[in-house]
């Protein structure tokens, strides 16, 4: 045994009791009282994606670090400061995915899907960023995202935006959210804008935070996205990309807006919105809520016409977005959709054995059945009361002898006898009818 592990085990049993290990800071368990909300959100998203022709792709949670550096960009907060990067036992540099798009595009290229004319993919799962944990900002968080690849039509941008609007509507959130859009140009027009912006930033350099002091050279657009107050106030007069778009980008943006208006989706143009990832071109968008404090963005995305190429694929334009699951759940009302619920109080071995096929049949009919495995009838009834079950089925030696079971309506505090013959069918009928 090495010194280290001896130490660990000595510490672990100090005080006679093994010390419980805590979860890593900034990550959360989702417990059974919270998971129904997760499932509901996931189910509604899957349903929407299916209607719009998106198929699910499940990609690994780790990839070679190079993939993220090349797609997200070397000079971004994510790659510079937030990734969980490690060397594996073969000396290969790997990173836990900080976002979903890079892995999805890698899979799209590697699988040959890129040969299809239009591909729509969606994904969901955990992402990892080493950020300062706070409400709505975690180190392991979850995204649900979608990518539509193969067309640069502004109609596709609008379709993706309409999808998000209708999705939020079905989640009951649309009224509290606002959509902001912008165009961040393309490699033809952005350099001209970047030059103008650099010139402006040089003039206000003394007011910028340390981070932006560096970024004004390496990644000037990101300065507009800085959350530091003095950076914000001193860049209000910065030149806007919208005034520097080339003809193609300008026409594209105007078409996106026409389509959005035709769909009746409300939006505002925010010329300062630039997004934090390098791979975006043209349309960029964010959905924000005013109820989430500083962590106000619940979904973000945009077009990335050069990304597939940049990752070694054919030249294929694309657009995508990701929803922040934890932030959305903070906004959603709790709605439970539990199955009808029966508790079973069984007293004695004989009753337990006799009820085995009955409980099985009732569960297979879609009813939740809880039971106690020990205790007197009284203590089992107490548990039945706490369980929240609408009904309690009671069977002991006396009932078996009479060929009857007792079904108690917990709310009405009223019970009836049901013959053991045909018991499962009768119970299912009553419990389901009361639940309807």
Applying CB under 6 A, the residues found at the interface with ligand ATP are 99, 129, 131, 136-138, 141, 143, 276, 295, 297-300, 322, 324, 326-327
Select from 343, 344, 365, 354 the least CA-distant residue to 425. Answer: 365
Secondary element (H or E) of residue 397: helix 397-402
264 CB burial (10 A radius; 0-12, 13-18, 19+): exposed
Give residue for tokens 């699910």: 56
Neighbours of 99 (CB within 10 A): 19
| Secondary structure letter of residue 243 according to DSSP | G
User: Residues 202, 216: contact at Cβ < 8 Å?
Assistant: yes
Rounded to whole angstroms, how far apart are CA atoms 68 and 310?
A: 11
Nearest approach, Cβ of residue 417 and ligand ATP (Å): 54
CA-CA distance, 258 to 267, in Å (whole number)? Answer: 11
Q: Minimum distance between the CB of residue 114 and ligand ATP, rounded to whole angstroms?
A: 23
- Around Cβ 213, how many Cβ atoms within 10 Å? 15
In the complex with ligand ATP, the residue whose CB is nearer, 41 or 299, is: 299
DSSP-assigned letters across all residues of 202-231: HHTGGGS-HHHHHHHHH-GGGGGG---HHH
By the 8 A CB rule, do 370 and 376 touch?
Answer: no
Pick between residue 287 and residue 391 the one whose CB is nearest to ligand ATP: 287
Give the nearest distance from C-beta 387 to ligand ATP in angstroms: 34
Nearer to ligand ATP, 183 or 380 (CB): 183
Q: Shortest approach of ligand ATP to residue 229 CB, angstroms?
A: 16
303 or 371: CB nearest ligand ATP: 303
Give all strands (DSSP E) within 97-183, no chain letters. Answer: 119-128, 140-149, 177-183
For ligand ATP, give the closer residue by CB, 297 or 404.
297
Taking the least distance from each CB to ligand ATP, the nearer of 295 and 404 is 295
CB closer to ligand ATP, 274 vs 394:
274
- State the nearest-atom distance from the C-beta of 400 to ligand ATP, in Å: 55
| Closest CB 371 distance from ligand ATP, rounded Å | 39
- Shortest distance (Å) from residue 404 CB to ligand ATP: 55
Q: Is residue 318 within 8 Å of residue 329, measured between CB atoms?
A: no
Closest CB to ligand ATP among 76 and 380? 76
DSSP at 207: G
**305 closest CA partner among 322, 290, 320, 325:** 320
Q: How far is the CB of 140 from ligand ATP (least distance, A)?
A: 8
Cβ 203 to ligand ATP, closest distance in Å? 26
Task: Give the helix/strand (H/E) hosting 418.
Answer: strand 414-419
Tell me which residue of 65, 225, 256 sits closest to 154, measured CA to CA.
Answer: 256
* Nearest residue relative to ligand ATP (C-beta): 324
Q: Give the nearest distance from C-beta 101 to ligand ATP in angstroms.
A: 9
Distance set, CA 416 to CA 69, 397, 399, 412, 430 (Å): 68, 17, 12, 12, 11
Cβ closest to ligand ATP, residue 311 vs residue 427: 311
Q: Which is nearer to ligand ATP, 21 or 24 (CB)?
A: 24
Instruction: Compute how many other C-beta atoms are within 10 angstroms of the C-beta atom of residue 220.
Output: 22
Q: Phi and psi for 346 in degrees, rounded to 5?
A: -115, 130
What is the rounded CA–CA span in Å between residue 64 and residue 226?
28
144 vs 390 by CB, closer to ligand ATP: 144
Residues 6+ apart with CB under 8 A from 254: none
**Structure tokens given for 284:** 């960029």
Minimum separation from the CB atom of position 37 to ligand ATP (A): 16
């Amino acid at each position: 045994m090495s010194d280290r592990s001896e130490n660990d085990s000595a510490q672990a049993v100090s005080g006679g009791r093994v010390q419980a290990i805590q979860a890593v800071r900034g990550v959360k368990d989702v417990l059974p009282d919270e998971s129904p909300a997760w499932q509901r959100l996931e189910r509604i998203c899957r349903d929407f994606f299916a209607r719009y022709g998106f198929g699910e792709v499940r990609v690994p949670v780790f990839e070679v670090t190079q993939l993220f550096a090349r797609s997200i960009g070397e000079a971004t907060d994510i790659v510079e400061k937030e990734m969980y990067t490690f060397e594996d036992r073969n000396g290969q540099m790997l990173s836990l995915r900080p976002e979903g798009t890079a892995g999805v595009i890698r899979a799209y290229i590697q699988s040959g899907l890129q040969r299809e004319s239009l591909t729509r993919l969606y994904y969901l799962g955990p992402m990892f960023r080493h950020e300062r944990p706070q409400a709505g900002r975690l180190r392991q968080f979850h995204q649900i995202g979608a990518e539509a690849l193969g067309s640069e039509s502004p109609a596709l941008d609008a379709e993706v935006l309409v999808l998000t609007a209708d999705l939020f509507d079905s989640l009951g959130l649309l009224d509290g959210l606002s959509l902001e859009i912008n165009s961040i140009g393309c490699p033809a027009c952005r350099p001209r804008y970047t030059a103008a912006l650099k010139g402006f930033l040089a003039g206000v350099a003394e007011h910028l935070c340390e981070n932006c002091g560096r970024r004004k050279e390496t990644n000037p657009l990101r300065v507009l996205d800085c959350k530091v107050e003095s950076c914000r106030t001193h860049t209000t007069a910065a030149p806007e990309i919208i005034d520097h778009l080339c003809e193609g980008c300008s026409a594209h943006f105007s078409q996106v807006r026409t389509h959005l208006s035709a769909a009746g989706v409300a939006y505002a143009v925010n010329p300062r919105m630039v997004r934090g990832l390098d791979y975006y071109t043209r349309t960029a968008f964010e959905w924000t809520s005013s109820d989430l404090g500083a962590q106000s963005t619940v979904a973000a995305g945009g077009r990335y016409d050069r990304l597939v190429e940049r990752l070694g694929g054919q030249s294929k334009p694309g657009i995508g977005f990701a929803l922040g699951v934890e932030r959305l759940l903070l906004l959603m009302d709790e709605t439970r959709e539990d199955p009808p619920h029966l508790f079973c109080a069984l007293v004695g071995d004989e009753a337990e054995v006799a009820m085995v096929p009955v409980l099985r049949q009732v569960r297979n009919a879609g009813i939740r059945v809880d039971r106690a495995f020990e205790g007197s009838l009284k203590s089992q009834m107490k548990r039945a009361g706490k369980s929240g079950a609408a009904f309690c089925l009671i069977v002991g030696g006396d009932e078996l002898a009479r060929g009857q079971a007792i079904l108690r309506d917990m709310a009405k505090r009223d019970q009836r006898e049901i013959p053991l013959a045909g018991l499962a069918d009768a119970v299912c009928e009553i419990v389901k009818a009361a639940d309807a």
